[in-house]
């Protein structure tokens, strides 16, 4: 799939780009394919994730960010594709305005982009961008954003997370009061297939889902932006991740989640609910397989 992805970069109508590819330890023909592209075009640069960096997309994205020289940044996953005018549309938007980010639409596809299965997500908030990102009413696809490098932190992506990292990153950026424009153009194609990381049912997935919500909850607390609605939304998602962890018998993840919830007790409006989940819900569901309703907020 990465050959198609690199070809979509090579086919951009806007030509002044560099493409940094970071290999996360692949065991297939990825390196040979990327090296072939780098021989054909010097704008492709190939790196292996350094051994001191943790495995995962976030460490690779951050390492690629360290290596980039451009003023405008776009992260692209190795199985997704860009419309030929993706960069030109975004570049022209930045060139004509002073913004931190331009955000376009993304479509999903299965085998070819002609077989589209609809929009990846709604990007337009109705009332409040922060609230609707948290609740999932809107979502921004990673490759569909062109960032001004000066607006980004040194490590944009949290390397502790294996999923929900984009959600976490985008919410943190909105909390920085970034300026952005939403573009009513489809410029990214997101591939649907069974190997996508979000499809797995692993301890890592649910731990990351829980941790990402915990990170944002604490970030909102620290910046005095946590209201009751958002707190309830975040805790509901954390309880659901904990329920899944208990159901799949992920003991280590369940323990970590319970201790994290206990640390929230002095800060939360929902102390009773947290105690009910930890003291009644977890034991009941673990030993009897009953008590799912106890995880509801």
Residue 195: burial class (beta carbons within 10 Å; 0-12, 13-18, 19+): exposed
**Three-state secondary structure call for residue 175:** helix
Same domain, 188 and 250: no
Following DSSP, what letter does each residue of 65-79 receive, concatenated?
HHH---SEE----TT
Domain span holding position 62: 2-197
Same domain, 262 and 183: no
Least confident of 8-22, 66-80, 134-148, 186-200: 186-200
| pTM (predicted TM-score) | 0.94
Same domain, 274 and 183: no
**Three-state secondary structure call for residue 19:** strand
Same domain, 290 and 219: yes
Q: How does residue 114 score in pLDDT terms, banded at 50, 70 and 90?
A: confident
The per-residue pLDDT for 115 is 80
Same domain, 139 and 96: yes
Whether 101 and 174 have beta carbons less than 8 Å apart is answered as no
**Three-state secondary structure call for residue 283:** helix
What is the rounded distance in angstroms from the CA atom of residue 239 to the CA atom of residue 281?
10
Tokens representing residue 120 in the block? 């990846």
Same domain, 18 and 133: yes
Note the pLDDT tens digit of each residue in 151-176. Answer: 999 999 999 999 999 999 999 999 99
Q: Find, among 56, 46, 42, 40, the residue nearest to 21 by Cα.
A: 46
Same domain, 270 and 188: no
Length of the chain: 297
Last residue of a domain, one of 197, 220, 241: 197
Note the pLDDT tens digit of each residue in 171-216. Answer: 999 999 999 999 999 999 999 876 555 556 789 999 999 999 999 9
Same domain, 19 and 146: yes
The per-residue pLDDT for 87 is 98
Same domain, 192 and 210: no
User: How many domains does the structure of the chain reveal?
Assistant: 2
Same domain, 247 and 137: no
Residue 63 above 80 pLDDT?
yes
Instruction: Kindly give, in sequence order, each residue whose CB lies less than 8 Å from that of residue 272, ignoring residues fewer than 6 positions away.
Output: none
| Average pLDDT of every residue of the chain | 95
Domain at 112, CATH number: 3.90.550.10
Last residue of a domain, one of 182, 197, 212: 197
Last residue of a domain, one of 197, 215, 245: 197
Q: Find, among 38, 29, 31, the residue nearest to 9 by Cα.
A: 38
Same domain, 17 and 37: yes
- Do β-strands 145-148 and 101-109 pair in parallel, antiparallel, or remain unpaired? antiparallel
The per-residue pLDDT for 201 is 78
Same domain, 75 and 153: yes
The per-residue pLDDT for 200 is 66
């Amino acid at each position: 799939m990465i050959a198609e992805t690199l070809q979509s970069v090579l086919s951009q109508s806007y030509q002044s780009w560099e493409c940094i590819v970071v290999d996360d330890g692949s065991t297939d023909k990825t390196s040979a394919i990327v090296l072939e592209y780098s021989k054909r075009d010097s704008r492709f640069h190939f790196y292996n994730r350094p051994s001191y960096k943790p495995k995962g997309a976030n460490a690779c994205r951050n390492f690629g960010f360290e290596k980039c020289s451009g003023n405008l940044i776009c992260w692209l996953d190795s199985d997704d594709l860009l419309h030929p005018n993706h960069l030109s549309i975004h570049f022209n938007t930045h060139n004509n305005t002073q913004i931190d980010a331009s955000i376009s639409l993304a479509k999903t596809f299965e085998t070819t982009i002609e077989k589209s299965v609809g929009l990846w997500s709604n990007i337009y908030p109705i009332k409040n961008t922060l609230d609707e990102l948290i609740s999932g009413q809107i979502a921004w696809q990673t490759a569909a954003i062109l960032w001004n490098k000066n607006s980004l932190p040194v490590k944009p992506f949290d390397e502790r997370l294996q999923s929900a990292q984009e959600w976490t990153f985008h919410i943190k950026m909105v909390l920085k009061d970034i300026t952005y424009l939403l573009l009513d153009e489809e410029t990214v194609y997101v591939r649907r297939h069974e190997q996508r990381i979000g499809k797995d049912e692993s301890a890592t997935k649910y731990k990351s889902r829980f941790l990402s919500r915990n990170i944002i909850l604490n970030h909102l607390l620290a910046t005095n932006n946590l209201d009751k609605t958002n707190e309830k939304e975040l805790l509901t998602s954390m309880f659901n991740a904990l329920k899944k962890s208990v159901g799949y018998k992920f003991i280590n993840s369940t323990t970590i989640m319970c201790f994290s919830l206990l640390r929230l007790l002095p800060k939360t409006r929902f102390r009773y609910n947290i105690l009910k989940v930890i003291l009644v819900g977890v034991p009941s569901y673990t030993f009897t397989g009953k008590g799912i309703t106890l995880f509801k907020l």
